[in-house]
A and B are shown apart, each in its own frame.
Chain A
Amino acid sequence: MHVTQSKTLMAILAVTVIGIAGVWAGLVPESAPGVVPEATPETAESVARLVSVQEFPQLDACAWDTPASFSSGPAPSLSSENLLGALEQRGGASFLLAGFQQEALEMRRAGRGGPAEFDADRQGTATHLRTLADTYPTFTAVGVNTNTNEVILQDNNLWSAYIFNRLDNTPPRARFSEPKRIIQGPETEMQFNNGLYIDPVNGDMYSVESDTGDKMVVFAQDAGGNVAPKRILNTPHRVYSVAVDEVREELYITVEYPPEVVVYNKNAEGDELPLRRIVGDNTQLETPHGIAVDSNLGLLYVNNWGHTTDFGDSRGGTTGYEDNGRNISPVGDPSTGRFNPTSITIYSIEANGDVAPIRVIEGDRTQLNWPGNMTVNQETGDLYVANDMDHSILVFTGLDTADGNVAPTRVIKGDQTKLVHPTGVAVDTVNQELWVSNLGNASGVAFPLEADGNVAPLRVVRAAPEEHQSLIFGRTAAVTYDPNREEILVPN
């Protein structure tokens, strides 16, 4: 029964999304295609006239989004009369889709049964007052498909991927740009999707997760909507990033903790185990994040945040694996924790086991501050680093010899760049462009590949209003309250 409901739900969802696209097109006749203008009273009136999907109010599926679960005010129901109004209030198509995803998951959970309840002497219903949530996507990574001329932005907040035309450029006063497609929904198996790789030949999208899902999902280049991945690889827990060596057809994934790099066959799936692993106290892997491959030099670059412990006594210098290929998660030797400097460790692409890096880039001249994803221009060997906390892109060159406290050759940084907590970076050698995803404001920006300094991007594609500041929530698993300042404090 739930399956039937879910299929029905998704079928109507598909119709609705098409309808939404049509509504947008109808609402913005004077705007560029795919651009959603600033809301005006006129558009609000138009919404009521234009959206007329009659089936919507009949769906139990919309029940997830009751005021009790989202908004303090008179939250708009997702009825035909105010659908786009709801979209405007809730951040666009992705948040609507997230609603359907939640409802589908709710139905699944109902099938499994929730946690046992207790009977009480007194029962009540709490009054929901407020919800603090980012209703827009939070982009962690970016990729370019030069076959289809599309740019793909990975959304860690609403568990989706946005696919835009590569040449989309959101006008300054537009609310946001409409993506060509969104991959999202329970069939996608995406959770906290973080790292991204686009196959340059067939356009396949590789997506790895940073938290609860522990898997990599691969989609075909034309995937959209609530679609199942073409294959799934079970991965260790706490993965951050993924890189691929197309020459060797190998896949490299960083695991934050216990720290390691796992190397798979590029086409690995299911419970397939890694071909090899870089792991152990000699590796100097310390909360590794971004990873990149130079296929020509045969080098592997990994950036590390420096939070570390020893593991020698825990697992003989290695981490263990369960039968399903996931890490057992040793806890490290007691009382050996320390904070080391941020670094980029360099290994042979064939490194295996508890091996020391060939060289280490580390020190104040590097400007590294919570580096995120990285990529290599395979034509030049330049290494591009998304430098989250510095709102910059660092470009290191001469990596065949670079060692120690070396400065980046180029730094893209400044108020003209529109970089806000960048964590994703992609090189497009066909069009000689650099793409960056901004964690801080739901946007992607494109630069000339040789950009340097405080330069304006060639284009900006936004999935949120220009003034939007992402909350950067990443699994809000705890909360505390400061009664002195009347503030809610939320860790990630």
Chain B
Amino acid sequence: MNHPQVAAFARLAEENAVPTRVIEGVASRLGRTMHDVMFDAIHDELVVTSPFAQAILTFRGDADGEEAPLRIIQGPNTQIVSERGLDKVTIDPVNNEILIATNHGDDRDPLGAILVFPREADGDVAPIRVLSGPATQFGGGRPSMRVDNKNDLLLVAESGGILIFDRTASGNTAPIGRIPGPSGNQFDVYNNLIITLRGDYLYAWDIHTRGEGIRPVWKISTPLGARANQTGLVLDPVHEEVIVATGAGNQILVFHVPEIFADRSETPRASTPFRFSAEE
């Protein structure tokens, strides 16, 4: 990776379209290995990490050029670990929180942890919650996370699946459910569906149907090309579109997938061979 930018494009941009703006340069504090990014539409902010400096960067929503972040979470009290631990980030804009997954990569914390910071934290700030310990079923990876404000849940893509926690879970707390695994860097949640990407398919999982062996509500073919690897994903519900970053493919693909945005009152739930015991 040569030039760690965040480039903005018009929704309808394609092929060699020129970006509308690019955040870049020394002042931006951006660095390589940005494996997750999230836009906060409520507060008009963008959050991304700078892993090699153990920092969480928050930019103005319309930041442009060599612009400094509005806020930087970084310092001795943060408990942030580099690179391996500072890989994925998410925002809970409703409850004003930023979440990152961290992992020392050694026996100090082999399973990793999720650190929760106030959204408006700036500087050397301690996390307000830490979710960590063997009961969490974290497997020492670099999990992506999303908060489902509709159901007040924290979703963590870890241990070959998505672990479901109460949103405010902390300490050594077990998940309340699990669904089978996605792959890629990012997933999304919308209207009681968890949308994941695996190979050349999108899967939509009912957030209330949990446990091993369950079937997704939808399996939708989305060919991504052979170079697709370590993919990203975000939903645009207004236009019923799924936007996929193909990682090694250096491409952004946009698909129209009305099925997953449809009124689910008419959509039958997936079959449930058995339910996760912790939920019963």
Contacts and interface: CB of A to CB of B under 8 A. Distances in A.
Interface of A: 64, 66, 68-69, 71-72, 91, 102-103, 105-106, 108-109, 114-136, 138, 140, 156-157, 191-192, 194, 210-212, 238, 256-257, 287, 305-309, 314, 329-332, 334-339, 342, 369-370, 372, 388-389, 421, 423, 439, 468-469, 471-492
Interface stretch (B150-158, B163-171, B247-255): B247-255
7 tightest A-B contacts by CB?
A: A337-B54, A120-B219, A126-B255, A478-B232, A491-B34, A106-B226, A479-B245
Interface stretch (B78-86, B92-100, B131-139): B78-86
Contacts of B103: 331
A439 B34 contact: no
Chain B interface mostly helix, strand, loop or mixed? loop
Chain B: interface residue count, which band?
35 or more
Given A257-B51, A339-B29, A439-B3, 4 more contacts: A66-B223, A128-B223, A128-B253, A388-B3
A120 B243 contact: no
Contact of B238 (A128, A131, A338, A483): A483
Interface string B1-41: 11111111111111111111000111001111111111101
Given A117-B199, A120-B219, A133 B15 contact: yes
Contacts of A136: 16
Contacts of B255: 126-129
A91 to B, nearest CB: 7
B172 to A, nearest CB: 19
Contact of A121 (B217, B254, B256): B217
A178 B195 CA distance: 44
B58 interface: no
Contact of B48 (A115, A339, A491): A491
A370 B200 CA distance: 36
Given A69-B224, A133-B252, A486 B54 contact: no
B91 to A, nearest CB: 10
Given A120-B217, A257-B52, A72 B14 contact: yes
Contacts of A483: 39, 41, 236, 238
B192 interface: no
Interface of B: 1-20, 24-26, 29-39, 41, 44, 46, 48, 50-55, 61-62, 66, 74-85, 103-106, 180, 183, 185-186, 198-203, 215-227, 229-236, 238, 241-257, 259, 268, 270-271
B105 A331 contact: yes
A389 B26 contact: yes
B193 to A, nearest CB: 12
9 contacts: A118-B180, A118-B201, A118-B215, A123-B218, A133-B251, A194-B2, A339-B50, A342-B26, A484-B44
A161 to B, nearest CB: 15
Most B CB within 10 A of own CB, among A131, A136, A479: A479
A330 B5 CA distance: 25
Given A309-B53, A335-B78, A473-B250, A370 B7 contact: no
B109 to A, nearest CB: 9
A332 B84 CA distance: 10
A257 B52 CA distance: 7
A316 B74 CA distance: 23
B65 to A, nearest CB: 10
Contacts of B215: 118-121
Given A479-B245, A487-B11, A474 B2 contact: yes
A64 B244 CA distance: 18
Contacts of A191: 248
Most B CB within 10 A of own CB, among A134, A372, A472, A481: A481
Contact of B54 (A256, A305, A309, A481): A309
A481 B39 contact: yes
A69 B225 contact: yes
Given A115-B183, A335-B75, A475-B248, A69 B85 contact: no
A125 B33 CA distance: 32
Contacts of A332: 54, 81-83
Contacts of A119: 215, 219
B186 A479 contact: yes
Nearest to B72: A339
Contacts of A238: 32
A123 B218 CA distance: 6
Most B CB within 10 A of own CB, among A124, A138, A212, A475: A475
